[in-house]
Every structure is written in C-alpha cells, then in structure tokens.
Chains A and B, each alone.
Chain A
C-alpha cells in the first residue's frame, strides 16, 4: 500500500523524481532550453549594439544586461515549464508526497534551465563587451543565488497560476515586483565584478544580500506553496 510522506530522505527522493522527470521531458522536446537560449542571445546581441560608445560596447552595463536576460528568458521558460504540468497537476497533487517536495523539485528544475541559459550568455557577454572576468567564484556565487531567488519566486507563481486563464499576463505582473530586489542585487553584484576595476568587497555585500533574499523567498514559498496550489 502507498505510504504518506515523512522524513528528509523521502522528501529529497520525491523532489529528485520531479527534477528527473522534468529533465527527461525537456531532453525530448528541448523547447524550454532552446527558447530561453535563443531569446537570451538575441537580447545580448541587440544590447551590445545599443550600448556602445565610440563603436565599443559599454562594459559597465553588462551586469544589468545579464540580469535582464535572466528575468525575461526565465519568465519565458517558467510559462512553458508549468504549462506542461497543467494537464497532470491533479495526479501529482493526489500522490502521497509533501507539496513542498513538488515545489523544491520545480525550483531545482527551473534553476537548471536558467543555469543553462547563463552558460550561453556569460561567455557571449564577455566576448561582445570585452569583459575581463576575475573573481570567478564570487561571480558564480552571485549567479547561483540570484537565479535561485528568481526560480524560487517564479516557481511559486508559476504553479499557483497554472490553471488560471490569464496566467501568461499575471505571471509577469506578480513575479517582477517581488523578484526586483533579487535582480537589483544580482545586477549590482555582477557589475561590481565586471567593472574595469573589480570591487569584490562590494560584490560580497550583494552576495550576502542575495543569500538573505533567497532564505526569505524560499521559506515563504515553501509555506505558501500548498495553499496557493489548492483548487478552491
């Protein structure tokens, strides 16, 4: 007979099942990763022409561009990511597992999709904006925490709007105001590291701020996921 959820191992196991399933589906269709990457490359190329001084791209805007790309490509991916789940949501909700495990699985999946976009975008930014990347560890930390914050809030709203008819419009309206602090901290931290004279001390402050935002957003989302995804 089925057993209801208890224990960290079971929770992690369920979350990983969700991630594995999402990766398998994406591997077959490749629509989210390709769409996000295509959109991201396009934005970076356009901005590299738009933000140019005397024929040279302005490297001080690169951090902001990176996070604009994460925000918009991420929203694009979120819509499709949760659209896939719309038809199967009742079956997932009836499974003997914590709803928080579903949430964690979706956040991890979304995080991987965002990371795959960043893998494409970052080298392109470095190339087009002639950036010198130092303090790689710190930069990766900012990218990881900023992306986690975005994925955490995005997955909460993506899941709760899954059955809403105006989900595409509502997702942006609800997500961006809340996730703005994460995007600002990410942009400022990245800009501090990609500047002509990198400022790792300032970047570290933004990194710590991102860690606090993530803690708050993930905790609140874990608490809010079940009531928000319940069909009333």
Chain B
C-alpha cells in the first residue's frame, strides 16, 4: 500500500500542554511545498514541541494539523516514511557503523537497492572513508552528516531539521545548504529550527518567530538574507 504524498501542511490553533504548562498556546500557519521555513524563538518558546507535533511523534492537546487531506491522527500511521527528521540527537546506533545504520533504515523503509543507495549517500555526505567506523567513534560534525543522510535517505516529502548546523565545519555547512536547496527545488516542505542565521543566509523563504508558545512574528520573502532575519527576530522577541 502506497502512503499518500504530503502536498501541504496546515496547523489550526494547535495547543500543547505539559501538566499545567502550555508549550504551545494556539499556533496556526500553513507550510507549502518548495519552501524553506525558518522557525526561531528563544529557549522554551515551543520550537522542539512544534517539530515533534509536525513529525507526528507527538499529538497536540487541542487543535489540528492537516497533512493534505489527512488530520494528524490519521497521518500518524498513514504518513510514516514520508517525514524526515533531523533531531537534536543523531538517531543512530552507536555500536553500528555508518553504513550499517543507513542500511538498517533503508531496509526498514523498503527502499530499492539499499546497498547501492547507502553507498551513494555516504559519498554525497562525504563519509565514504569513515563509512565502516562505528557511529560512537565519530565527531559531532561527522555524526551530523550521517544523521542528515539518514533523514534524507527515504526522500521524504516533509523535512524537519532541528539545529542542523550544530557542530558542522564549513564544508559540511555548504553541503547541508546544497541539500536544502536541492530539497526545496524538488518541492519538499522544509522546516528548519536554528539560531545560526548566517548558515541559512539566502536560503529561507519564510521566517516564523515563536515566543512563549505563540507565533510572535512572521516574514515571507524568497531567499531571506540573514541580516533581515536577525532584525526581524530581535524586534519580535
């Protein structure tokens, strides 16, 4: 059974409460294909909670997230495999090599020719030489490269990246920017959470600023320059 492609994402008054503490206090916005949305906010603003909800790993306390025609409850099982997540942690097994990790996920996703596909991705993220090293022995930057390959391997429609530039050297930042550009051109829906605004200079089409669980500011313009992002962000928080 083919899972339906994600052609749009819309949040309608999404709230998330932990105990009595609201992490999200009614957030609404829509995400379109072929756009990179930058999500910013101070610590505790609800960015990671929002990513967890968008990824279907967490359910909103109230409100709805629509993925095309599906609401978030239906999407949990129907859209598995359509969502790529690059999280705070690399989501890789320490005692397996980079190649073994990627092959494991490629097989779980039922991808064609997993061995060749993984080899291509290892080359693409510059990890061919360290391909057979255990992930637990890698530097933060190398880990992030493999994590990026894991997230992009199944060619997801919705790509969620939480602080993807952390620990990356200049080459790796360039690589990630190229991948994001490619994904945008391929019509993917991309959400990036980062404080490293220089790394996303000219890459984002939209800025959403969260503050205390609410949308505090929004700016839409193709290829937002980082200075404009910075100014807008500081004015909002």
A3: nearest chain-B partner, CB-CB: B110
Nearest chain B residue, comparing its CB with the CB of A18: B108
Does B108 contact A4, Cβ atoms closer than 8 Å? no
Contact present for A2 and B77 (CB under 8 Å): no
Of the candidates A4, A5, A25, A231, which one forms a contact with B57 in the assembled complex, judged by CB atoms under 8 Å apart?
A231
The number of residues on chain A lying at the interface, defined by a beta carbon within 8 Å of a beta carbon of chain B, is 28
Residues of A within 8 A of B (CB): 1-6, 10, 14, 17, 21, 24-25, 28-29, 84, 87-88, 90-97, 230-232
Q: Per-residue 0/1 for B42-60: is the Cβ within 8 Å of any A Cβ (1 yes, 0 no)?
A: 0000000000100111110
Residues of A within 8 A of B80 (CB): 4-5, 93-97
The B65-107 residues at the A interface (CB cut-off 8 A) are: 76-78, 80-85, 87, 89-96, 100, 104-105, 107
Q: Is B107's CB under 8 angstroms from A2's CB?
A: no
Residues of chain A within 8 A of B108, CB atoms compared: 14, 17, 92, 95-97
Q: How far in angstroms is the closest Cβ of chain A from B2? A: 6
Q: How far is the CB of B21 from chain A (nearest CB, A)?
A: 14
Check B3 for interface membership: any CB of A closer than 8 A: yes
Nearest 5 CB-CB pairings of A with B:
A96-B81, A2-B81, A91-B91, A96-B80, A95-B108
Q: Is the CB of A91 within 8 A of B3?
A: no
Q: A10 — nearest CB in chain B belongs to which residue?
A: B110
Nearest CB on B from A10, distance (A) = 7
Q: From A13, which residue of chain B is reached at the shortest CB distance?
A: B107
> In the complex, what residue of chain B is closest to A2 when comparing beta carbons?
B81
The residue among B83, B84, B90, B109 with the most chain A CB atoms within 10 A of its own CB is B109
**B154 and A4 contact, CB distance less than 8 A:** no
Instruction: State the CA gap A230–B150 with chains docked (Å).
Output: 22
A1 to chain B, nearest CB (A): 6
Known: A4-B78, A17-B108, A91-B85. A96 touches B3 (CB 8 A): yes
* Cβ contacts under 8 Å, B90 to chain A: 87
B105 near A2 with CB under 8 A, answer no
Q: Which of A4, A14, A87 has the most C-beta atoms of chain B within 10 angstroms of its own C-beta? A: A4
CB neighbours (8 Å) of B3 from chain A are 2-4, 96
Nearest to B155 among chain A residues (CB) is A1
